[in-house]
Structure 1
Amino acid sequence: MNYKEQYSHKDKMYYLHRRTEIIPFVPAAIKIALDVGCATGGFGALLKENFGCEVWGVEPDAGSADEASKNIDVVINDLFTANLPQLAGKKFDAIFFNDVLEHLQDPDKALLACKHLLNLNGVIIASIPNIRWYPVILSLLRYKDFKYENAGVMDRTHLRFFTKKSMIRMFEENGYKVIAAEGINPSNFKYYKILNFLLLNTQSDMNYPQFVIVAKHP
């Protein structure tokens, strides 16, 4: 199954999220950013509104890329690789992967490619789904099921699955220093709270469907 077939079932809203919850992690002095998997450019537009920065995007879906070109400065309609000619010689203050790394066959290659695209103090900011999110664990333990869905943590187009611990390890093994790893969009399920209490508050990561990783190349 090719890329277009894999994503053909996606609802239009899948490409429209602005991701306001990522804004607190963005460096205040950002001047130029690269949004990998920029969809229709909603997040990039938000960056421009809040920071007045230049925004480039990479988006493999042609329709989304065309829409993104109306919202951000430069859009590359292609898969993200180390050899994109449009990125040759470019340097960015921040490179974003908003729920993208888990869709890649080899996310390590993507992180390695970013080393040549970051300014001296540049950072990678990645939102990554958390497979230890309480509903997923409940499905495994109570219902004995690993059920794929059209979106979310169990998106059927995810090729990789991560916990907070393995997210950090992935960045560190690729030569990055993780400077933040924080949960976003907390769920606060009733039974999760009880479980976490009984386990001496050691399961707080299960409350978050995603974590944001901020990392820099030392």
Structure 2
Amino acid sequence: MQESYLDKEKGYFSNIRKDIISFIGTSKDQTILEIGAGTGATLLELKNKGAAKIIMGFDIVDVNQNKEKFDSFIIGNIEQDNVPFELDFFDSILLPDVLEHLVEPQKTIQKLIPHLKKDGNFYISLPNIRNFEVFYKIFIKGSFEYADEGIFDKTHIRFFCKKDMLNLINLFPELEVQKIESNLKHLSSMKSTLNKITFGVFEQFLSTQYFLKVRRN
């Protein structure tokens, strides 16, 4: 699996996830862990904005050339390796477009829960397979051809509709979905405008992604 990520363009690992930062909101001075942190650009931006005071990253590929800027940065396989962090330690754990790459995403969530503080939050983003472009590609063009990124990313091995995302979190009695939000809210586009004027009726077909804020009770 690790080798398949090495074929990715560098930009795949180095983008600042402004959508995730916007979704987190105005919280300050948090202790934050990001799984799938890439170069750590999002964590550094959170620290620059004052949202984080302690930042730790974890990724399967070693593309971060500035690990000294982090309180901890670990290269490993989140599904196979132990999580070497303190219990009840993090205010927030980020899982931005990570769970769809895992064989058993529920086991990774279970592994991470003890390291999240009580009343701490997971911030999760997942691609939405119910998007109309998926319907067009499969049912009109008759193809499930994989791509280098996006919903058909060749490293995706799990697929989710909005209902599946909620069902995944509902497996854990100690977790509660505080908010689930379409990526359309973070876009200025024809699709987001269409979603507004149709009062969200077609949201699940227009959204390419959903964001979830999940609290540990």
TM-score class, shorter: 0.7 to 0.9
Other structure's SS at 1:132 match: coil
Q: Name the aligned partner's letter for residue 56 of structure 1.
A: M
* 1:79/1:216 CA distance change after superposition, 3 Å: same
1:32 aligned residue: 31
Alignment partners' CA distance in 1, 2:35 and 2:29: 16
* 1:207/1:188 CA distance change after superposition, 3 Å: farther
2:61 aligned residue: 61
Alignment partners' CA distance in 2, 1:36 and 1:210: 18
Matches within 5 A, 1:119-198: 119-175=117-173, 176-185=175-184, 186=187, 188-189=190-191, 193=194
TM-score calculated relative to the size of structure 2: 0.87
Unpaired runs of at least 5, structure 2: none
Q: Name the aligned partner's letter for residue 184 of structure 1.
A: N
Other structure's SS at 1:115 match: helix
Does the 8 Å contact 1:183/1:211 carry over to 2?
yes
* 1:136/1:180 CA distance change after superposition, 3 Å: same
TM-score calculated relative to the size of structure 1: 0.86
* 1:44/1:201 CA distance change after superposition, 3 Å: closer
Unpaired runs of at least 5, structure 1: none
Does the 8 Å contact 2:88/2:118 carry over to 1?
no
2:214 aligned residue: 215
Does the 8 Å contact 1:123/1:214 carry over to 2?
yes
Does the 8 Å contact 1:68/1:75 carry over to 2?
no
Q: Name the aligned partner's letter for residue 188 of structure 1.
A: M
How many angstroms does 1:201 deviate by?
A: 5.3
Alignment partners' CA distance in 2, 1:174 and 1:117: 15
Aligned residues: 210
* 1:82/1:61 CA distance change after superposition, 3 Å: closer
* 1:125/1:98 CA distance change after superposition, 3 Å: same
* 1:61/1:126 CA distance change after superposition, 3 Å: same
* 1:181/1:123 CA distance change after superposition, 3 Å: same
Q: Tell which deviates more after alignment, 100-109 or 45-54.
A: 45-54
Alignment partners' CA distance in 1, 2:172 and 2:52: 31
Does the 8 Å contact 1:41/1:67 carry over to 2?
no
Q: Tell which deviates more after alignment, 175-184 or 136-145.
A: 136-145
Structure 1 runs (4+) greater than 3 angstroms displaced: 185-190
Q: Tell which deviates more after alignment, 134-143 or 163-172.
A: 134-143
RMSD of Structure 2 on Structure 1 (CA): 2.5
* 1:112/1:157 CA distance change after superposition, 3 Å: same
Other structure's SS at 2:117 match: strand
